[in-house]
Amino acid sequence: MSFRLKSILPRGLYGRALLILVVPIVTIQLVVSIAFIQRHFERVTLQMTGGIAVELRLVLDRLAKGDRAGAEMVASELGFGLGPAAPPLSGLRYDALDLSGRVVAETLRDEVPGLLGADLTREDGRVIADFATPEGPVRLGIDRRRTSATNPHQLLVLMIVTSAVMTLISYLFLRNQIAPIKRLAQAAEAFGKGQHIPYRPRGATEVRAAGAAFLDMRARIERSIESRTRMLSGVSHDLRTPLTRLKLGLSMLPEDEETGALLDDVAEMQRLVDEFLAFARGDATEETEAVDLPALLRRMAENAERSGQRVTLRGCDGVLVLRLRPQAVTRAVENLLGNAARFGTRARLSLLTGERSVRIVVEDDGPGIPMERRDEAVQPFARLDGARDPNRGGGVGLGLSIAADVARSHGGALRLGESEDLGGLKAELALAR
């Protein structure tokens, strides 16, 4: 029951705020109005029907005295229709939804002696009542407008129109109050995707405070990233310079087995430094731009095939333009393809599109990673003891970590699983659209 109720409730802030505001007001108005209408019109009907009962008794008194002509004259002057009752009515008949009909019928029965029956449904706009007289049953027709108020709907219409106007005013007010919250959410979401959009705090005091806190937080994060990037640039220069001198010095030595081994060590150090810096630097220095993602994936597959890797493409046809950091995404996908080439013989690169995200899937036919070790595998410098170790074969255990960071900076995530077709690892890089 609660699940069904949650499914029909509005999910947006506009709908929920209006629901909280409008439902209690409308409920109170309905309850009060119905109670007021019922009691008010019952009293009015009782008073009006009581006056009619006095006039009916006057006509019936003339008939009881045998003055038929006088009774007809009085009935005509009072607006009653007087005639024989054939056959006479019995009981009281009125519609169940007629709020005042019950009061009319019961008042006539209680205050006018000799009532045989009354029918408020036989003729539209008239009350038909039969009475017992010495001359036999007679029928009196009474204009319904004289027995009860005829415009109870006016109050309901006024209530509905007023409620609609107040709801519209409430909606406009809520729109002005909620718009700053939506702008703040958009700015925070864009910053989570690595985008910087202009934002200025507006709205209520609490919303302004939240906006100012967000701006302070964004500025601190940007300063931290900028200082880290400057530091890494200096570290990169400081590390590359001695490595370059080592390479130059070794290249001047006679070529032998020992010199070749040292050159291989220097190249390995160079590669490790490059991977460490790529992981630490992330994609903070790159700006987002509009990129045709399928074309980017096709180029990466072509580059992998030129290097001797077997890559199958799926879902990379057509055009899909997204705002992302192309170099970062390229680095992440190439790391996944590199892992697939290192541990398997063939790989498959797929692109799956959704309404709110796209998924780049890299599958291979290697040994895979056990389910209980997948969370550990994306951690930096993690060492796996199984058959699939990201650090084995010259790796340093940063490929999956870099891919996970790139996914998070684009509002997504990296998920590891098992390929149903190839049997190896399935790495799914989700990016927000």
Reported as type and span, the H/E element at residue 138 is strand 138-143
CATH of the domain at 389: 3.30.565.10
- Residue range 27-62, pLDDT digits in tens: 877 777 777 776 777 788 888 888 889 999 998 898
Residues 298 and 417 in one domain: yes
What whole-number distance in Å separates Cα of residue 48 and Cα of residue 417? 82
Mean pLDDT of 51-78: 88
Q: Is residue 186 part of a domain?
A: no
Please tell me the predicted confidence (pLDDT) of residue 395. 52
Same domain assignment for residues 343 and 233: no
Q: What 8-state DSSP symbol labels residue 88?
A: P
Q: For residue 96, report the phi and psi dihedrals to the nearest 5 degrees.
A: -65, -30
Where does the pLDDT of residue 392 fall: very low under 50, low under 70, confident under 90, or very high at 90 and above?
very low
- What pLDDT score does 384 carry? 60
pLDDT at position 100 is: 77
What is the number of structural domains in the chain?
A: 3
Asked if residue 262 and residue 311 are part of one domain, the reply reads no
* pLDDT surpasses 70 at 121: yes
* Cα–Cα distance measured from residue 117 to residue 90, given in angstroms and rounded to the nearest whole number: 4
Do residue 136 and residue 270 come from a single domain? no
Highest mean pLDDT among 65-69, 169-173, 391-395: 65-69
Residue 266 in this model has a pLDDT that exceeds 60:
yes
Q: What is the mean pLDDT of residues 62-79?
A: 87
Whether residues 300 and 423 fall in one domain:
yes
Q: 210-246 burial string, b = 16+ CB within 10 Å, else e?
A: bbeebeeeeeeeeeeeeeeeeebeeebeebeeeeeeb
Residue 277 in domain: yes
Domain span at residue 250 reads 226-281
Per-residue pLDDT band for 282 (boundaries 50, 70, 90) equals: low
Q: What region does 329 belong to: left with phi over 0, alpha with psi -120 to 50, or beta?
A: alpha
Residue 422 reports pLDDT greater than 70 = yes
- Contact status, residue 108 vs residue 85, Cβ threshold 8 Å: no
Q: Of the candidates 254, 281, 308, which is a domain's last residue?
A: 281
| pLDDT over 70 at 397, yes or no | no
Q: Is the domain of 265 the same as that of 315? A: no
- Alpha-helical runs (H) found in 252-350: 257-281, 293-306, 326-343
Prediction pTM value: 0.50
Say yes or no: 314 and 238 in one domain. Answer: no
- Tell me, what CATH number does 258's domain have? 1.10.287.130
Q: Over range 302-306, report the average pLDDT.
A: 86
Which pLDDT belongs to residue 360?
92
Least confident of 371-375, 383-387, 409-413: 383-387
**Structure confidence at residue 402 as a pLDDT band (50, 70, 90):** confident
Give percent above pLDDT 90 in the chain: 3
Q: Which of 124, 151, 178 is the last residue of a domain?
A: 151
User: What is the tens place of the pLDDT at every residue in 150-160?
Assistant: 655 666 677 77
How much is the average pLDDT of 418-432? Answer: 87
Q: Confidence band (pLDDT; 50, 70, 90) for 286?
A: low
> Can you read off the two tokens belonging to residue 29?
């108005």
Asked if residue 357 and residue 268 are part of one domain, the reply reads: no
Q: What average pLDDT does this structure show over 388-411?
A: 67
Residues 71 and 122 in one domain: yes
Interior angle at CA 222, CA 217 and CA 227, nearest 5: 130
- For residue 250, tell me if it sits in a domain: yes
Which pLDDT score, from 0 to 100, does residue 361 have? 92
Domain contains 253: yes
The confidence score (pLDDT) of residue 393 equals 44
User: In 3D, which of 114, 120, 129 has the Cα closest to residue 63?
Assistant: 114
Give me the pLDDT at residue 26, please. Answer: 76
pLDDT on residue 279:
59
**Are 83 and 58 found together in one domain?**
yes
Burial per residue of 100-115, b for 16 or more beta-carbon CB atoms within 10 angstroms, e otherwise: bbbbbbebbbebbeeb
Cα–Cα distance list, 256 to 243, 264, 267, 361 (Å): 20, 12, 17, 45
Whether residue 199 is contained in a domain is answered as no
Q: What are the structure tokens assigned to 371, written together? A: 């389910």
* Residue 175 near residue 168 (C-beta atoms within 8 A): no
151: which residues sit within 8 A by CB, 6+ positions away? none
**Whether the bond into 326 is cis, omega within 30 of 0:** no
Lowest-pLDDT choice from 47-51, 62-66, 118-122, 190-194:
190-194
Categorize the per-residue pLDDT at 318 as very low, low, confident or very high, splitting at 50, 70 and 90: confident
Report yes or no on 16 lying in a domain: no
Q: Per mean pLDDT, which range of 20-29, 274-283, 291-300, 319-328 is the poorest?
A: 274-283
pLDDT, averaged across the chain: 80
Instruction: Please report the DSSP string for 210-240 in residue order.
Output: HHHHHHHHHHHHHHHHHHHHHHHHHHHHHHH
If asked whether residues 267 and 370 sit together in one domain, one would say no
Q: Is 182 a domain residue?
A: no
Domain boundary among 151, 180, 199: 151
176 within a domain of the structure (yes/no): no
Judge if 144 and 249 occupy the same domain.
no
Q: What is the CATH number of the domain that holds 41?
A: 3.30.450
